[in-house]
Structure 1
Amino acid sequence: MHYYRLNIHKCIIFLLFTALVIPSKAQETIVSYIKKNRGFTAIKDSAAYTNIIRLSTNELGLHELNEYYPNGNLKRHGWTKVADPRRLYLEGIIESYHNNGNLAVSAGYKHNKLSDTLKRYYENGLLKEIRFFSGSEASPNEFLFQDQHSRLIYYADSTGRQQIVNGNGKFEFKDSINSEKGQYIDGLRQGHWEGTLKKGKNKFEEWYEKGILSKGTSTDSMGNVHHYTQRDVQPEYPGGIKNLMIFIAQNYKYPKEALNAKVSGQLLISFVIEKNGLANEFEVINDLGYGTAASGIAVLKKAEKWTPGYQYGMPVRVQYSIPIRLNTAPAPN
């Protein structure tokens, strides 16, 4: 089943009170082994990549971040304000690499959000696109439609054939699943656009005015027509994420075994918001043991039904990741 992934690591759920963990001065780096589902493992051979954060900071107060593929090739290099692999706070130039060693992405971040210039490269080393983000408006979130927050300055296909130069030109994209084409003027979408989704099963048409979508119409595989004015609409919990945080804090049941063992730390649980708004397919990405993850899933199952996510006016399955921080320390006066 296909779903869209949405990480909301900024929405930390504080059940009790968080404790500040200060690493030893003798410790120079924090080394973490990350699984494919973004969870952590103590076994290097089972990791999708290795994350290394240097504890000492540069003149800007930033920690150096390096990530490596299992074969030792560099996967990502950059800087973070927080020396915690579970909640990176990106700042400055972040570079990602293909496994063959060629640069994949070079992006500027400000306050953990895309800012300034982003460049993408094909695996063969050719430049794919250049985008300019202004005002740090767009969060690094793969669910969001990037054109809402940026101008496309340059685009070329994998053979090097240029389509967009200086923000102008006709854009055409096609892979084994989706396709779309339309016009860019001054880096913004303009006029009539059209494309296909899911190997041609769904079709859509859109109309833009200086990058703003004025209307869109999609037709699904059953012939149903959907009208929309936003390409991407995220799922929403009743009252917002803050209400979900409050619900979890009020209803989470700390397992007796965890209390006796004085377990503290952060759970990370992912789940899918189905097209009908129900939460499903719970997966524990980071477990603290002693039944803490089972209690986290139990409270999420009791939460209210969500408003589902939409793309092109059609409901879609969206994956969320929820961090739940636990602390057995007594509350301060």
Structure 2
Amino acid sequence: MLKKLWVFGALICVLQQVNAQKKQDVYYYKNNGQLVSDKDSADFIRIIQEPDSGETNFNLIEIYPDGKKKAIGKVSSVLFSMPVYEGQYLSYHKNGKKESTLFYERNNLTGQAYYFFENGTLRQIIEHKKSETNGPAKILVNYQADSLGHVMVKDGNGHVLEHTSSFNGATIEGDYKDGFKQGTWIMKADMGDKGYKEQYESGQFISGESEENGVRYSYSAIESLPIPKGGMQRFYSYLKGTMKYPADARKNNIQGKVYISFVVDKDGSLDDIKVERKLYPSMDAEALRIIRLSGKWMPGMQHGFPVRVKYSIPISFSL
């Protein structure tokens, strides 16, 4: 018996050594998606590990700072430290209970997605159907319940009244018909004079009106990406006209692209500007310089409200 236990213990040690030898990249993140430099300031840790034997996709493992699992999945590639998901993806609440079961194809959700409350109760079943015209996938809500198990939507039909953590806490209410939003949907924030009212027809967004501190704003899209003032063409013209090719890079005949990331804040200012993929020290510094001088953008919008959005661009150096 003692011999068997010794052999088992030795086998465990070997397996741990093999696993430790796998090549991996480690990233530290805040819950809002911001990449930070160390574990102490991170809300979770993302590990991208080399593929298993016979596999082509990388292993993705996410853990909370206390070591508990946050997510397990597969990715086909990583760009700007952001993964391209493939296959099954499992996520977990901090208490260890399952948060979601998702399936991906080339970073796009496919099939049925299952979402759970922290107490383990099933919250939603959402179906992602591929479009027959190669357009965006159709997203149908087939089931939705509250944390006590009271069903609000069944077989795609029902009325939803739920509290969400969005907008620092808010109540959202509206109807589903055949899996799609239908009619008027209303959001009212817990704090302050903030809310929106949106109109839908068979899941198609028609129009919206948001209100905050007595100011109303009408919008024709649920969300929009940030853009430079004057448009992207003018922005790239600015980059080309402002760039100073570093003398040492020119002397050494160095060309290529520096990848820069930044956050467009709610007021359009650029924050957290950093080099995501380096090329050459003086060229990296020049790319940072011209982005910092580029001025404010038009902020990204969601439901008629400005939001912080992370943005990444390549800056080309060519002789």
TM range (shorter): 0.7 to 0.9
Match of 2:196 among 204, 228, 234: 204
Looking at structure 2, the residues matched to 196 and 286 of structure 1 have their Cα atoms a distance apart, in angstroms, of 38
CA deviations on 1:176-220 (whole Å, 9 max, x unpaired) are 632221110111011222221362512332222111122323333
Q: Name the CA shift for 1:242/1:120 in 2 (closer, same or farther; >3 Å).
A: farther
Deviates more, 1:71-80 or 1:285-294: 285-294
Preserved contact between residue 209 and residue 304 of structure 2 (Cα < 8 Å): yes
Contact 1:269–1:321, Cα closer than 8 Å, also in 2: yes
Separation (CA, whole Å) in 1 of partners of 2:239 and 2:208: 37
Tell me, in whole angstroms, the C-alpha distance in 1 between the residues paired with 2:109 and 2:234: 27
> Aligned pairs, how many?
290
Cα pair 1:188 1:210 within 8 Å, conserved:
yes
Contact 1:180 1:196 (C-alpha < 8 Å) held by counterparts: yes
Equivalent residues in 2 for 1:207-246, closer than 5 Å? 207-222=199-214, 224-237=215-228
Whether the aligned pair in 1 keeps the contact of 2:174 and 2:186 (CA below 8 Å) is yes
State the alpha-carbon separation in 2 of the partners of residues 324 and 256 from structure 1: 21
Amino acid at match of 1:181: E
- Alpha-carbon deviations, 1:131-160, whole Å to 9, x = none? 1122289xxxxxxxxx99511111111222
Bigger RCO of structures 1 and 2 (CA < 8 A, at least 6 apart): 1
Query: How far does the alpha carbon of each residue in 1:97-128 deviate from its partner, in whole angstroms, 9 at most, with x for none?
Result: 11221111221111112222222111221111
Paired amino acid for 2:46: N
Q: Does the C-alpha gap of structure 1 residues 34 and 309 become closer, same or farther in structure 2, counting only changes over 3 Å?
A: closer
- Partner SS for 1:159: coil
**1:158 maps onto 2:147 in alignment:** yes
| Alpha-carbon separation, structure 2, partners of 1:46 and 1:203 | 32
Give the 3 Å change call, closer, same or farther, for CA 246–89 of structure 1 in structure 2: farther
Equivalent in 311, 315, 319 of residue 321 of structure 1: 311
User: What amino acid is the match of 2:148?
Assistant: T
Q: Normalising by structure 2, report the TM-score.
A: 0.73
Q: 1:205 to 1:69 in 2, by over 3 A?
A: closer
TM-score, length-normalised on structure 1? Answer: 0.70
Deviation at 1:56, TM superposition (A): 3.0
1:267-306, CA deviations, whole angstroms, 9 ceiling, x for partnerless residues? 553222444xx43334448596957665444212343653
Indicate the percent of aligned positions where both proteins have the same amino acid: 25
Structure (1 or 2) with the greater helix fraction: 2
Matched, 1:280 2:270: yes
Deviation at 1:96, TM superposition (A): 1.3
Partner of 2:85, secondary structure, is coil
SS in 1 for 2:94: coil
Alpha-carbon spacing, 1:71–1:184, altered in 2? closer, same or farther (3 Å): same
Q: Does 1:308 align with 2:299?
A: yes
Gaps of 5+ in 1: 1-25, 138-146
Aligned partner of 2:106: which letter? Answer: H
**Residue 81 of structure 1 corresponds to which residue in structure 2?**
76
Of residues 115, 118, 123, the one that matches 1:123 is 118
Distance 2:51 2:174 in 1: 48
Aligned match of 1:30 in 24, 28, 31? Answer: 24
Q: In the superposition, relative to structure 1, how do residues 284 and 305 fare at CA in structure 2: closer, same or farther (>3 Å)?
A: closer
Max Rg structure: 2
Q: CA deviation at 1:232?
A: 1.8
Assess, with a 3 A threshold, how the Cα gap between structure 1 residues 106 and 246 changes in structure 2: closer, same or farther.
farther
Equivalent residue for 2:48? 53
Asked if 2 retains the 8 angstrom alpha-carbon contact of 1:148 and 1:212, the reply is no
Tell me the distance in 1 between the aligned counterparts of 2:60 and 2:245: 34
